[in-house]
Amino acid sequence: MSVTKLDDGLYRCGSRWVNFYVIEDGGEVTIVDCGLPSYEGQLDEALAQMGRSPSDVDAIVLTHTHPDHMGAAPGFMATTGAPVLVSDVEAPIATGERKPAKVSGLLGTLWRPSMLSLIGHLIGNKGLSNTTVSAATPFGDQEILDVPGRLKSVATPGHSSGHRALVWEARGVVFCGDAMATLDLARGTRGPMLHPFNEDQAQAVESLAVLEALPGNLLLPGHGEPFKGTPAQAVEAARRSL
Ligand SMILES: [Zn+2]
C-alpha cells in the first residue's frame, strides 16, 4: 500500500493491484477513481504530501463504477464533502438504482495463482462487495468537467457500458481506467494490454481506437504501472497482445 508522487500535483495511490490518483490544480484537488474501501487512509497521506487538506478536494471523478474503482468513494465523500461525478450511463449504477452488468472471462481464471492472490487482497481490503453512493453527478461524452484539472471525458465503453477515459490535457495525462491495463490481473504479467475482463469484449477492442487518438505522454491505468509514452504507443503494444 503506497502513495507515490509521479509529478508535481500528481499522485498514484493504492496497491500493486489497484490504483487511484489524486491531482492538484491551482491549489484545488480532484480524486480520480477511489480504489478499495480500505485504501481510504491513503487520501490523507497524499494530501499531506501535497500540503493540502480534505477541504481542498473539490471533486471525485470515476472512470466507471466497478467496486475496485469506487470502493472508497463513500468514505472520500464523507471526509471531503466533495461530489462524485460519473458518466451519465453509469450514474444509476453508482447510486444503486440499476444493477451492474457482469464482466466475462472471470470464472475460467479463478484457479490462477495471480487471481488467488488478488482475491486474497480483495477480501483483506473489503473489496468484494458492491459499493453505492448517495448521489452521483452525471457527465456526458466529450464533456470538459468543471473540476480541478478540467478533465475531459472520453467514452471508451467495453470494459463497462459507460466507461470513460479522463484526459488532463494541460498536463498530457490520460487516466485510462480499465480501457487498458499494464497489469494482467489474471496472469500477473505486465505491459500495455487490453484488460482481461470486459463486459463487452468486442466493444473494448473498438475503444482502443478511441484511446489511440488521444493526446498525451503519460497513460495512467486502473491496474499496473504508469506507461510513459503516447496513447498511440500504448495501444500499439496492447494490440500486439490481443
Ligand atoms: Zn478495475
- Please give the grid coordinates belonging to residue 6: 509521479
Three-state secondary structure call for residue 8: coil
Which three cell numbers, joined as nine digits, stand for 13?
Answer: 495511490
Which residues lie below 8 Å from residue 78, measured CB to CB, with a gap of 6+? none
Q: Which three cell numbers stand for residue 157?
A: 465503453
Instruction: Tell me the CATH architecture of domain 2-240.
Output: 4-Layer Sandwich (3.60)
* Residue 63 φ then ψ, to 5°: -75, -35
Looking at 39-48, 92-101, 117-126, 192-201, which range is the least confident one?
117-126
pLDDT value of residue 124: 86
Sign of CA dihedral 84, 182, 240, 152: positive
Task: Give the ranges where 8-156 is alpha helix by DSSP (H).
Answer: 42-50, 67-70, 73-80, 91-94, 113-124
The alpha carbon of 112 and the centre of ligand 1 are apart by a number of angstroms equal to 18
Using the predicted structure, report yes or no on whether residue 138 has a pLDDT greater than 80: yes
Calculate how far, in angstroms, residue 33's C-alpha sits from the geometric centre of ligand 1: 10
Span 46-98, pLDDT tens digits: 999 999 999 999 999 999 999 999 999 999 999 999 999 999 999 999 999 99
Of 81, 82, 84, 80, the residue nearest 93 (C-alpha): 84
- Ligand 1 centroid – CA 151 distance (Å): 20
Give the confidence band of 108 by pLDDT, cuts at 50, 70, 90: confident
For the chain, domain boundaries? 2-240
CA of 198 to the centre of ligand 1 (A): 10
Ligand 1 center from residue 45 Cα (angstroms): 22
